[in-house]
Structure 1
Amino acid sequence: MEIYLDANATTPVMAQARAAALATMAEDYGNPSSIHSTGLKARALMDAVRGRARQVLGAPTGQLLFVSGATEGIQTAVLSALSALRERRGAPDAPELLLYGATEHKAVPEALKHWNALLGLGLQVVAIPVGPDGRHDLGWLRDHAPRAGLVCTMAANNETGVISDLDGIAAALEGSAALWMVDSVQALGKLPLHLAQRRIDYAPFSGHKLYAPKGIGMLYVREGAPFTPLLAGGGQEGAQRSGTENMSGIAALGAVLAALQGGLGFKNPATLVGYRARLVDALQEAFPGLVFNAPLDLCLPTTLNFSVPGLSSKLLLDLFDAADVRVSGGSACSAAQAKPSFVLEAMGLPVWQTASAVRLSFGPAADADFIDEACARIRACGESLRDCCFGSTPGRVMPADGVTRFVVDAACCYLVADEQSRRCVVIDPLPEVNERLAQQIRCQGYTLAAVLDTHSHGDHASSAPELRDAARDLLEGGGATPLDPLGWPRGTEHISLGALSLTRLALPGHTEDSTAYLLRDAQGLRMAFVGDTVMPGALGRSDFVQSAPLAFGPSLRRLEEAVGPHGLLAPGHDYDQRAATTLSTECAGQPLLSRVLRGAMEAAAFAAAKSELEQGLGLTEYQTLACGARVAPGADTTSHELESAALHDLLQGPGGLVVVDVREPYEQRLSTTPDLGPDVHYQAVPMSRLLNALPSWLALPAETPVLFVCRSGNRSAYAAHALRRLGHAQSWNLAGGLALWPKPMPGLLDIDLAA
């Protein structure tokens, strides 16, 4: 059962609305502009819905137009207002400003900028500041209102649920000739608007935010307010909005308004506040330290916006989605851009809150059983995180063993751990994950043997001291062991981690002190952590004081001698989503040294370095340097998506099928993977631990298909690309991820998380 808690983005269509729409399509399908009986029936239906809408909105006068949705309504209102302002150009009292709330939906400022430019007005478009509570600065508005031609505010914010002080705004506009538009999308069904009792000139609404279908909305225009049609044509809607009316949408919206007016299924404010209180309790129990980003007493009772210290919004969205709980990181229109919330930024909240916010919203027709299940799922999410060491209590799932990778803006940090000895090392720590690392190490009772950098940093300080301070009680010897500048214990040839051991190899180039750490187990070399030594595009600048670009050639030769052409290399940066590489993969098609130097140097410096290297090494050596046996490049990495319908061919193939769930353990605990039959081998290998499994997949027979799955298909595409690039051509990701998997599934299989 899906628990949909993203009602501010859209809502399911109410049963009565579906029935009304279908009846209109089947029976009352006439064109309301036709004068025959079928057309007259359609006209009567449309007039009845308009009349009901007037009653619900408290708008007995003025125009009430049916439009496609809020965006069209906003465009129409802005065009109408700005067309009227254009007629006042040159007058002594001509306005200078177009004002909009700083937390307004992007549709508003974009419409203002568009029509301001198109009509050639040249007015200044300015955001009205908001306070930490998300409400408009009424003093600022009062000062600027006399110079404004149009003021745009919201009745309630779509991200935070903050309810605007409409009466306060009206008071601030006293004496101003400015027109006033109020985006009322989130207010419908949740707030009494009483439009006729306020000086609101324009109010757009959208049906799909309140159980009607997408594609139907309304625009209220106060009587006497200027109006310019956005759409001209056949003269429908009293020539105010041309185009044949969306009768099925209008009928559906009418059914919703009837249910709202009659209290059928819609809960009263007190009940909704009670529902919210129960969700608040569940969230605080699941996520200790959670912070709500807006005062609850100023918000819609159906909306909660929160952040959890140390947890990104992406992590929380993946977690909730695994539990079949649908929430959002902010406005649905901006969610795909993965940027911090501009709404919370405008409120002046700290960066960690703006970048990790989650919005939870339910509709006013939700019932108690729905809220019960939502609370249970939320608590399960919190328990899953605690079991995976997102907390102080010992975790019970997948203790750190082998290599775990953390990535922040393409920078890579590695935790190398041995479960049996309970010892670990951190390589190239990042400030953004230090707290998380210390928490995980402490939760699992590991000893931190060392915190290492692969090189010094010319443009920033290492965060290793910060991690050592945060985990001082976990450091071997209490942190008293003497260290070299990169964190290696002085006088130590290798760091023992039980069955694993680390040694180091000097690789000057990116910096004079660049180092690779070689990880070995009983079978030999497992992988090398090479910092910014090898990966093209990851090299960064080489013009720092400690840079040594001319030392790259000999360093790469030493690296090849130590790891061979096929040894797995873990980079310090991963801009191209390669996960890992090998020397043979990197130099297939051209000399590696040439590619590395080009990534680090300007053209003139590159030419000089190349000339010097050719003279010192010999041209032949230069061309083949670090290319080993010159293995052919890996399989094509651009075509790895597999539609679910094409799985049949893989299942019938001779190589068997390996299905790998790359979601993180806290997701895998809450969800399942499709059961494709007894001949399929399932593995749970989180993206953070992908490096551990790459060698075993590369050792599979060439014809064995490996299918990666995750929630959306993004992480699985990354994994498939990485494996293909390293040479296993039969690497695939499920297009669209498990989210697009056909429902119902043929069966469900619980994954062994210890696999």
Structure 2
Amino acid sequence: MNTTIYLDCNATTPVLPTALAAAQEAMGAVFGNPSSTHATGVQARQWVDAVRARAARVLGAGAGDVLFTSGATEGIQTAVLSALCAVRDRLARGEAVGKLLVYGATEHKAVPESLAHWNRVLGLHLELQALPVARSGRHDLAALRALAPRAALVCTMAANNETGVVSDLAGIEAVLQDVAPQAYWLVDCVQALGKLPLHLAQTRIDYAPFSGHKLYAPKGIGLLYVRPGAPFTPLMAGGGQEDGLRSGTENMVGIAALGAVLQALEEGGSFSSHSQMLQFRELLTLSLRAVWPEIIFNADFNDSLPTTLNFSVPGLPGSAVVDALGAVGVQVSAGSACSAKKAAPSYVLQAMGVPAWQAASAVRMSFGAMADADFIAAACARIARCGAGLQARAAAAEAMRCGPPLEADPAMHLVPAELADFFQQHPGAVLVDVREPQEHAADPQPLGCGRTALNVPLGSLESRLAEWLGAAPAPLVFVCRSGQRSQRAVHTLRHLGYAQAWQLKDADAI
């Protein structure tokens, strides 16, 4: 493929062009240390303050603090440390404090890992308790009502990174207000920025972390909102930057880039509207159903971000779907980026109670808020090409099993003496060695033909046919020692309508 259709934006996004330009300016013209008092430093300080003010407006932070971090994990760590240090102080004063650390069963792993870490380091010996979710993926509010009176800290998320399920934050807040006004509340807002309205000052959320690279800023920059009056303990002490909330020289490059993204978000025009994103999801859904009519979507669209589709295909592992889409240049993921390397079913889907096969074979397709109609149309066209390629592959598999008679056909043959002239006349032609890998490794220019060949063993031919049949056809010349396997390969392709396939006949005579 000449271009890649990137549909894994819940993992990360490309950098917004204006953000890239702002980062370059911060490395060039505005390179000062914001703590310096001379003109260069003051210029940098003014930029930092302007971005912070814009972030506060976008987040609806009101009088709350907004500090720059390296990303959501640091924000989560800082929030958990702050809440648990306050819990420790309250215990030391003999106050009644909840003994539970409650977190949503579908939270990003950064949350329970941070809870366990600081609970251990601070010696609090509190109990970690997963808050169950319903089949919809939303938190079980009845279970929360039972747990919250004993909770010191409650951690939920605004929207799930795997399924896109949007939490009922208003419902959670009502429960906490009613039965647990003493509990601190952390809300992971990473997937919410640019996709959901945010009015943090109008809520009782104590801490809300954000990550820039989920919305077209570079990696290594994030935000943490802290409600007025919420306890705070710095994770990083030192020179007193960020008004003593987070020491260390500010990441001017990341802050400048994030500021450009926030400006685009605040001014509008760069990002798709909610209604447009709903239309885009519908188009992608129709395209996927055309390829896999039996597809199952693992989250109700009514409760989910319009930018996220999590699905399973009966009878296919997630890796097979990822590979099939990847063959036509569409990049998606199996599960989340943080868990993709682990060969285990999705714990998010397991918590939702979906059947085991669905949790084990789930695929996530996610587009960004900058997607436009042309991009989605291109993605749908590529998905349709995937479907055509899969049909061709199925037909090829049948042809390989049953196949037409292997009668001699001179039109399919080249002899060694013709090979050089053939490649001169067809410069885009590909020599394909259908021998086994060990044979090819010992002789990558098979049988002395003087040209390096692409090795595709006959048993693996089916995996390449969808690619060949779905692309602009190039002449293919198949070779093996006996001629039997190369003859089968040529017959299969020609049987499927691929006319530009030849066999190098009498190759063992070279």
TM-score (norm 2): 0.82
Query: Which amino acid in structure 1 is aligned with residue 398 of structure 2?
Result: P
Contact 1:181 1:200 in 2 (8 A): yes
Q: CA shift at 1:3, angstroms?
A: 0.6
Contact 1:102 1:346 in 2 (8 A): yes
Bigger Rg over Cα: 1
Contact 2:103 2:130 in 1 (8 A): yes
Q: Quick one: distance in 1 between partners of 2:377 and 2:346?
A: 29
Q: CA shift at 1:264, angstroms?
A: 2.5
Structure 1 gaps, min length 5: 390-394, 402-416, 423-579, 582-633, 641-648, 685-692, 700-749
2:120 equivalent to 1:130: no
> Aligned match of 1:73 in 72, 75, 87?
75
SS in 1 for 2:453: strand
1:217-264, CA deviations, whole angstroms, 9 ceiling, x for partnerless residues?
000011111111111111111111111111011011000111111112
SS in 1 for 2:90: coil
Residue equivalent to 1:371:
376
Q: CA shift at 1:330, angstroms?
A: 1.2
Q: Quick one: distance in 1 between partners of 2:500 and 2:356?
A: 37
Alignment of 1:483-632 (within 5 A): none
Q: Quick one: distance in 1 between partners of 2:279 and 2:214?
A: 21
Contact 1:208 1:214 in 2 (8 A): yes
Residue equivalent to 2:336:
331
Query: Which amino acid in structure 1 is aligned with residue 467 of structure 2?
Result: L
Contact 2:445 2:453 in 1 (8 A): no
Alignment of 1:700-719 (within 5 A): none
> Aligned match of 2:289 in 284, 288, 301?
284
CA RMSD of aligned residues (A): 3.1
1:654-706, CA deviations, whole angstroms, 9 ceiling, x for partnerless residues?
97533224777355523699xxx99xx9769xxxxxxxx8x989x9xxxxxxx
2:152 equivalent to 1:144: no
Residue equivalent to 1:13:
15
SS in 1 for 2:243: coil
1:53-92, CA deviations, whole angstroms, 9 ceiling, x for partnerless residues?
1111101211111000001111111111111111233636
Residue equivalent to 1:353:
358
Q: Quick one: distance in 2 between partners of 1:240 and 1:125?
A: 27
Residue equivalent to 1:59:
61
Residue equivalent to 1:665:
462
Q: Quick one: distance in 1 between partners of 2:468 and 2:91?
A: 62
2:407 equivalent to 1:399: no
2:169 equivalent to 1:166: yes
Contact 1:286 1:381 in 2 (8 A): yes
Contact 2:392 2:469 in 1 (8 A): no
Residue equivalent to 1:235:
240
Query: Which amino acid in structure 2 is aligned with residue 119 of structure 1?
Result: L
Query: Which amino acid in structure 2 is aligned with residue 669 of structure 1?
Result: A
1:27-50, CA deviations, whole angstroms, 9 ceiling, x for partnerless residues?
001000110000000000000000
Contact 2:393 2:465 in 1 (8 A): no
Q: Quick one: distance in 1 between partners of 2:230 and 2:342?
A: 37
1:183-202, CA deviations, whole angstroms, 9 ceiling, x for partnerless residues?
00000000012000000000
Change (3 A) 1:753 1:170: farther
Q: Quick one: distance in 2 between partners of 1:751 and 1:50?
A: 61
Relative to total residues, which structure has the larger helix share, 1 or 2?
A: 2
Q: Quick one: distance in 2 between partners of 1:10 and 1:311?
A: 26
SS in 1 for 2:223: strand
> Aligned match of 2:6 in 4, 10, 28?
4
Q: Quick one: distance in 2 between partners of 1:294 and 1:667?
A: 33
Q: Quick one: distance in 2 between partners of 1:233 and 1:53?
A: 24
> Aligned match of 1:115 in 114, 118, 121?
118
Residue equivalent to 2:391:
386
Change (3 A) 1:660 1:34: same
1:386-428, CA deviations, whole angstroms, 9 ceiling, x for partnerless residues?
2323xxxxx2x24364xxxxxxxxxxxxxxx553589xxxxxx
Q: Quick one: distance in 1 between partners of 2:468 and 2:451?
A: 24
Contact 1:661 1:683 in 2 (8 A): no
2:116 equivalent to 1:102: no
1:567-593, CA deviations, whole angstroms, 9 ceiling, x for partnerless residues?
xxxxxxxxxxxxx99xxxxxxxxxxxx
Change (3 A) 1:200 1:656: same
Query: Which amino acid in structure 2 is aligned with residue 141 of structure 1?
Result: L
Change (3 A) 1:324 1:84: same
SS in 2 for 1:669: helix
Contact 1:216 1:246 in 2 (8 A): yes
Q: Quick one: distance in 2 between partners of 1:308 and 1:300?
A: 21
Query: Which amino acid in structure 2 is aligned with residue 316 of structure 1?
Result: V
2:252 equivalent to 1:247: yes
Q: Quick one: distance in 1 between partners of 2:502 and 2:78?
A: 55
TM-score (norm 1): 0.56
Change (3 A) 1:682 1:658: farther
SS in 2 for 1:670: helix
Residue equivalent to 1:33:
35
Contact 1:4 1:325 in 2 (8 A): yes
Q: Quick one: distance in 2 between partners of 1:358 and 1:4?
A: 14
Percent of aligned pairs sharing the same letter: 56
Q: Aligned pair count? A: 448
Alignment of 1:424-503 (within 5 A): none
> Aligned match of 2:224 in 200, 219, 223?
219
Contact 1:3 1:325 in 2 (8 A): yes
Contact 1:385 1:666 in 2 (8 A): no
Change (3 A) 1:82 1:247: same
2:186 equivalent to 1:181: yes
Q: Quick one: distance in 1 between partners of 2:37 and 2:68?
A: 20
Q: Which has the higher contact order (CA 8 A, sep 6+)?
A: 2
Q: Quick one: distance in 1 between partners of 2:198 and 2:327?
A: 38
Change (3 A) 1:400 1:118: farther
Query: Which amino acid in structure 2 is aligned with residue 29 of structure 1?
Result: F
Q: CA shift at 1:109, angstroms?
A: 0.7
